[in-house]
Amino acid sequence: MPEVASGRFQDKVAIVTGAGGDIGREISLHYAREGAKVVVSDVNPAAAEETKAVIDAEGGESLVVQANVMDSESVKGMVETVIDAWGKIDILVNNAGIGERSSLLETREEMWDLIMAVDAGGVFRCSKYVAPEMIKAGGGRIVNIASLMGMIGMGAPSYTAAKGAIIAMTPIVAAELGPHKINYNTICPGFIVTKLNRDMLESGVGDQVIDKIPLRRFGNTADTARLVLFLTSDDADYITGAVIPLDGGMGRFLDLGEDYRTYDPFKNLQG
């Protein structure tokens, strides 16, 4: 196992939902490298086992739990399994989610319901059923993975609405859980390179997008994992209810073009 830079998560128990995907796998691996016992949760058991294999290869400790975040009984079962195995839950990362690209007029109602049930509903269910265990233990940390698309006008209405719901619920849930010493925060990744979007971002479409990012690069899964780990560490003990973009500055930058950026409105007033 690679040398652990710090023991900040030694003996902590961390649930990562959607841990079979690229971002969830990276988050899970980062926790394992820093000493946490990682609950690798995913609706796809084969994908979860792949993540566990990566953790095992580095000498980490993990447990695969198949769970469907759309289903309350499945989420309750996940919580019970973790408590039975390790006795507590210190950290929850609500990473599970799905997406689609349909416009309003093309969006099927069943797809709208599905996106809301998984993306927003999954955060609700996992938070609802994990929080009582954290309250019993005297505190904990919860981080939700929303999206830049929930903050600005970009992407499909269904996906944007679901991620926006996560953002909207963050401060009120943080206020509710704060007295129980549970920190509750949300991050909003922009364009993070994964297997699902790599071809698109390496095409001409990606060339257009990257010019809209002040840092002039796409994010990577490690960028996401590092922010998640920070927010669940003692270094972030006084941060709760925060909604943090992880987008290279894209969400606060409107590119009006080179001509606008270089135009000098005062040149005709000089001399």
**What CATH number is given to the structural domain containing 66?**
3.40.50.720
pLDDT of residue 261: 67
Taking each helix axis from N to C end, the angle separating 121-137 and 72-86, rounded to the nearest 10 degrees, works out to 30
Q: pLDDT per residue over 18-65, tens digit each?
A: 999 999 999 999 999 999 999 999 999 999 999 999 999 999 999 999
Cβ neighbors of 69 (< 8 A, separation 6 or more) are 17, 43, 75, 96, 118, 121, 122, 123, 125, 126
The gap from C-alpha 158 to its chain's centroid, in whole angstroms, comes to 18
Inside any domain, residue 101:
yes
pLDDT at 5 over 60: no
The mean per-residue pLDDT over the stretch 202-226 comes to: 90
pLDDT at 119 over 80: yes
Model confidence, pTM: 0.92
pLDDT classification of 201: cutoffs 50, 70, 90: confident
pLDDT of residue 3: 46
Inside any domain, residue 123:
yes
Inside any domain, residue 4:
no
pLDDT at 79 over 90: yes
Domain range for 29: 13-269
- Residues belonging to the active site: 159
Inside any domain, residue 8:
no
Q: pLDDT per residue over 123-141, tens digit each?
A: 999 999 999 999 999 999 9
pLDDT at 264 over 80: no
Looking at the structure of the chain, the number of domains it has is 1
DSSP letter at 219?
B
pLDDT of residue 6: 64
pLDDT at 193 over 60: yes
pLDDT classification of 211: cutoffs 50, 70, 90: confident
Inside any domain, residue 6:
no
